[in-house]
């Protein structure tokens, strides 16, 4: 057999490698084309092509939950005709809501409160502090006290909504610097409280801001741990709204340790997620064994934010408690509170915190006051 010259073998090898390169490029192009075609002819599910043979709505879990909501019996909704009936309804509903939200710890842990930092500003003083809400869970907060007037100051517990957490309502920008311009959407409303001559006690809600796992913090300042924490709470027979509400109870405990704050005049205000807590969480703000809401001695409640229909809370385990919807609507939850003075900023297009004005609360966008 005639042997091929070495130069011919090298040439053959070179051609083969170039050919392989061309084949590889062609394969990539073919794959791209196939993916493009697949995108145009996307296979949606096993019902593809037979939609007319089944009721598609029966395969939609979101629609299913909404139908259940719309047909909920609302066994404990308000139907009172007399004052006595209304008071009995409020007492019974409050007890049921407390049961659904999970139990408070039987024994209160020591607060172990510490001041971390004190800053002076032209119109107010800002103190950063921490305390233990319960074993293994700490709360960070800011106390803003005005430089006008005299102690003891009425105190408003201020709870932020979704965003960067408590920093977004006490005048701290995303770089951790102090700011003087109040920006959308929460408008540093804790600062506004101090500017109106009251003390603001702004707290970091669980799963927001500094109260997040390290992996969540790495995702950015606005990422939250609402899930899986809320789901974990349900597995433990508790609720996220219960945990957060207990933080408010312990905040009131902390307020009672401060001589510059008036323990007889304490309110609670929130925006967005903080609104849920300031309103829906209030039935949990009880002392163990008490018949009435903690704060009946003259404390007041106010809140700001959107008032959502219960259907809009479906899937928001962080702001709800199991078994609520079959019993009551969203308005019932707020109505079961004692008849204390109350201010709400609401409206179909309200997407920002209220700007606090002297003697009243006015919304920053379209809405109404009540």
Say if residue 327's pLDDT is above 50.
yes
Please list the helix, strand and coil fractions of the chain in percent, rounded to the nearest 5, in that order. 35, 15, 45
CB 294 within 8 A of CB 286: yes
pLDDT > 70: what percent of the chain? 66
Q: Supply the mean pLDDT for the chain.
A: 76
Spatial separation of the C-alpha atoms in residues 321 and 156, rounded to whole Å: 25
pTM of this structure: 0.72
CATH level 2 (architecture), domain 114-369: 3-Layer(aba) Sandwich (3.40)
Q: What is the pLDDT of residues 303-326, one digit of tens each?
A: 433 333 333 444 455 566 677 777
Q: What is the pLDDT of residues 251-300, one digit of tens each?
A: 999 999 999 999 888 888 888 878 777 765 453 343 322 222 233 233 33
Domain regions of the chain by residue span:
114-369
CB 116 within 8 A of CB 367: no
Can you tell me the mean pLDDT for 24-34?
63
CB 299 within 8 A of CB 264: yes
């Amino acid at each position: 057999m005639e042997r091929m010259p070495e130069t011919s073998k090298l040439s053959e090898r070179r051609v083969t490698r170039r050919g392989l390169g061309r084949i590889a490029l062609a394969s990539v192009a073919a794959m791209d084309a196939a993916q493009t075609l697949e995108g145009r002819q996307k296979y949606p599910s096993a019902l593809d092509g037979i939609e007319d043979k089944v009721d598609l709505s029966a395969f939609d879990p979101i629609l299913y939950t909404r139908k259940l909501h719309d047909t909920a019996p609302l066994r404990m909704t308000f139907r009172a005709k007399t004052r006595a009936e209304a008071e009995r309804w409020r007492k019974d509903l409050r007890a049921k809501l407390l049961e659904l939200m999970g139990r408070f710890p039987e024994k209160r842990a020591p607060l172990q409160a510490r001041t971390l930092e004190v800053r002076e500003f032209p119109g107010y003083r800002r103190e950063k502090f921490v305390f233990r809400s319960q074993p293994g869970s700490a709360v960070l907060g800011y106390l803003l006290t005005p430089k006008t007037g005299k102690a003891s100051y009425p105190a408003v517990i201020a709870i932020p909504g979704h965003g960067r957490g408590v920093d977004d309502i006490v005048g701290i920008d995303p770089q951790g610097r102090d700011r003087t311009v109040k920006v959308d959407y929460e408008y540093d409303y804790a600062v506004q409280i101090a500017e109106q001559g009251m003390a603001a006690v702004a707290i970091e809600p669980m799963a927001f801001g500094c109260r997040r796992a390290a992996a969540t913090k790495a995702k950015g300042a606005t990422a939250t741990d609402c899930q899986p924490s809320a789901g974990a709470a349900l597995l433990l027979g508790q609720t996220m709204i219960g945990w957060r509400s207990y933080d408010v109870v312990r905040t009131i405990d902390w307020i009672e340790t401060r001589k510059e704050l008036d323990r007889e005049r304490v309110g609670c205000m929130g925006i967005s997620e903080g609104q849920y807590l300031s309103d829906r969480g209030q039935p949990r703000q009880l002392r163990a064994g008490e018949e009435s809401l903690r704060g009946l001695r003259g404390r007041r409640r106010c809140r700001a934010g959107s008032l959502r229909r219960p259907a809009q809370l479906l899937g928001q385990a962080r702001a709800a408690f199991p078994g609520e919807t079959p019993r009551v609507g969203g308005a019932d939850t707020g109505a079961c509170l004692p008849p204390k003075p109350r201010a709400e900023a609401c409206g179909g297009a309200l997407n920002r915190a209220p700007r606090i004005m002297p003697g009243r609360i006015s919304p920053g966008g379209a809405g109404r006051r009540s």
